[in-house]
Amino acid sequence: MTQQISINEVPAHGLAVTQAADIDVARLDLEVDAVVIGSGAGGAIAAYELAKAGKRVLVLEAGPYIPSEQFSEMMAVSMDTLYQDHGAQANASGDISVLQGACVGGSTVVNAALCFRTPDYYLELWAKKFGLSNLTPEVMAPYFDKVEANLHIAPNAPHESSPGARLLKQGIENLGLPAGNAKRNIKNCAMTGFCFAGCVSDRKQSMLITYLPWAVAHGATIYADTRVTRILAEGDQANGVEAEVIDQQNGEVKCRLTVTAPLVVVAAGPIQTPLLLQQSGLANTSGQVGKNFACHPTLSITGMFEQDVDNFYGATHSLYMDQNVMPEEGGYLLLDAIQDPVEASFQAEPGTGEPYMAYMSRYRNSVRLITLIHDKNVGEVNWKNGTKEIIYLVDDQDFEIMKAGLKTNARILFAAGAKQLYIPSSQPLTIDDESQIEAVIDGLANEPARYRYTSFHPQGTCRMGADPTSTVVSPSGETHDVKNLYVVDASLLPTSIGYNPSETVYALAHYICDQINQAHA
């Protein structure tokens, strides 16, 4: 294991990580107090809280360690190096890109840094429907306070708003709708607009520059390039993991690793966590591991303006419109989002050849507005014949919610001054006048592979709740079936929550680690 550093030595830059290139033996056997699988939102916080409590902690991350100075700020390159499946992870029908980070720091390295507290509505729903009476708004408030302070989560300053967001805000206000000012975990934003490609300037307060260095300063060790293949258990007690250290250059196994640990914390994400439990044959007497998958499918309408907008710098998300976000009020959230040319090229379908070149030549005139829906937990994630399978189709009722959101989206864009709108369909589809909104969007049919959905928010798959027959994880974060096996990622969420879930995961990870430290002092 790598040498531990003093709690007084938090480097200003860089992170101590053991990588495949550092290992020259075919086998390693390690013994620690706690092994954490995954280094993203939940895993990094778990590593910090457990190490701070005096435990010997080992973090195993399947992805590579890429320090921020190596971020390319080119979306195509970042997709290949920082994202799960090189950015190609998708549902089985191929119409929803399910984007996740796959690197040290996880999705926090490549997300837009947008943060929302979990609405009281969902905490109360979870208490009533899933027996999570421990997660009251009063109990969770200090955890939200903690992560907001630690990660500098604060509303955007006026100067951070992107040019397109300023136009959209005027459109929202012209329609008499409320414009929300986004909160982000950013410190002195450089406004380069490259959040999705990794923040070179370290202004985004991702796990890469916050909780992971803090964990290392308390003695935690991080292994990158290390894929856990099996969680070990004796009887009903977890006691370690088996893993493989993978050479990132050729994909070959360089070292086999066995870790003995009385505590196993899984934070591999809502796709990989259920797959690992399935491969390990653990924690599934309920039959719910991998079930109840939700992902906040989104569609972006791109508006074309007469003037150059240059909406490619500033906060990735500057504003939102959530008047209709609660299920009883519509079930959709609208978000502005800047986009680089690579994103712009696949967010709409203008056609090929001359129509495509004409569309991209107006890139500087374009502004997109996202419709994100609170979806039902209708999907599942399976390990089938040695392959990952994400089964998810947008529910018919959810699609009607999407259409309602798209109509509001379109009205805002026209009210902001757009002259033409592009619908992200598999065939060229535009709205050329405000009078066409109802007819065009009412004409959309819920058909697989017809639309260009994107999801940054996989959730569910290891549902948390009091009933061991219908949920996977107990209210304390420990799996019902296997003692000392905890889950601290978005797979816990009993339902989709309608907003970006990162702050929910941050707060739940802190809460669960308090339960772990109390039970294993």
Rg from Cα positions in the chain: 22
Strands (E), 351-435: 366-373, 380-384, 387-391, 420-422, 430-431
Instruction: Compute CA 298 distance to the chain's CA centroid, rounded to the nearest angstrom.
Output: 13
By 3-state DSSP, what share of the chain in percent is helix, strand and coil, each rounded to 5? 30, 25, 45
Strands (E), 16-85: 27-31, 34-37, 57-60
Query: Is 228 one of the annotated binding-site residues?
Result: yes
The H-assigned helical ranges of 133-260 are: 137-150, 163-174, 211-217
DSSP one-letter code for 446:
-
Strands (E), 219-339: 221-223, 226-234, 237-246, 253-260, 263-266, 298-304, 319-321, 332-337
Q: How would you classify the pairing of strands 319-321 and 420-422? A: unpaired
Number of residues in the chain: 521
Is the separation of the CB atoms in 421 and 435 below 8 Å? no
- Tell me the two tokens of residue 434: 């405000």
Torsion, Cα 323 327 328 334, to 10 degrees, reads 20
Q: Compute the distance between CA of residue 417 and CA of residue 167 in angstroms, rounded to an integer.
A: 8
Give the residue among 263, 274, 266, 256 at the shortest CA–CA distance from 233: 263
Q: Compute the distance between CA of residue 382 and CA of residue 386 in angstroms, rounded to an integer.
A: 10
Give the residue among 188, 147, 192, 186 at the shortest CA–CA distance from 44: 147
Count Cβ atoms below 10 Å from residue 163 Cβ, excluding itself: 18
Is the separation of the CB atoms in 219 and 17 below 8 Å? no
DSSP one-letter code for 327:
G
| Residues contributing to the annotated binding site for FAD | 228
| Residues contributing to the annotated binding site | 228
